[in-house]
Amino acid sequence: MLLGESSFKRLIKESEIQEKVSALGEQIAHDYSDRPLTVLGVLTGSIVLLSDLIQKINLPLRVGLIQASSYRGAAVTAGDLTINSELLPDISNRDVLLVDDIFDSGRTIATLLETVRRKNPNSVRSAVLLKKNS
């Protein structure tokens, strides 16, 4: 047991998450069959989800990363949103799926979608693991 682990309540079993990720991967493969897909993970929260998900998408695809941050240092409340798209591959004329871990207020994903749309993709959709209820 890790220090402080007993203070957390498990809300979702790992097996349930894996089942949903597998189903999502199958749905994505169906939706994007024969289309050029780029999956973009939002750093840093989506890395594990991104890794698990792309293994379940039975299609050739590109993977890229985009960084979004509104928390600095030890902050626990959001500040100004900063987006770093230096790791973004060329997504023009490709379908893009933006993957993030937690949907909170929607501000981050909306700004990221706007940023990605300026790069001239064919389409942009998003997928998130969890919706945070305040």
Q: What is the pLDDT of residues 76-120, one digit of tens each?
A: 555 677 777 777 888 999 999 999 888 777 778 888 888 889 999
- Pick the residue with more confidence: 134 or 97? 97
CA distances from 6 to 10, 11, 66, 72, 84 (A): 10, 13, 34, 27, 36
Q: Which residue among 90, 95, 100, 104 is the active-site one?
A: 104
Annotated active-site residue 90? The verdict is: no
What is the per-residue pLDDT across 22-36, written as a single tens digit (0 to 9) for each? 999 999 999 999 898
Structure confidence at residue 121 (pLDDT)? 95
CATH number of 12-131: 3.40.50.2020
Q: In terms of DSSP bridges, do strands 95-103 and 37-43 run parallel, antiparallel, or are they unpaired?
A: parallel
- Pick the residue with more confidence: 58 or 2? 58
Q: How far apart are CA 51 and CA 82, in angstroms?
A: 24
Structure confidence at residue 73 (pLDDT)? 53
Residue % of the chain over a pLDDT of 90:
41
Looking at the chain, how many residues does it have?
134
> Where exactly are the structural domains of the chain?
12-131
The mean pLDDT value of the chain amounts to 84
Structure confidence at residue 21 (pLDDT)? 92
Structure confidence at residue 18 (pLDDT)? 92
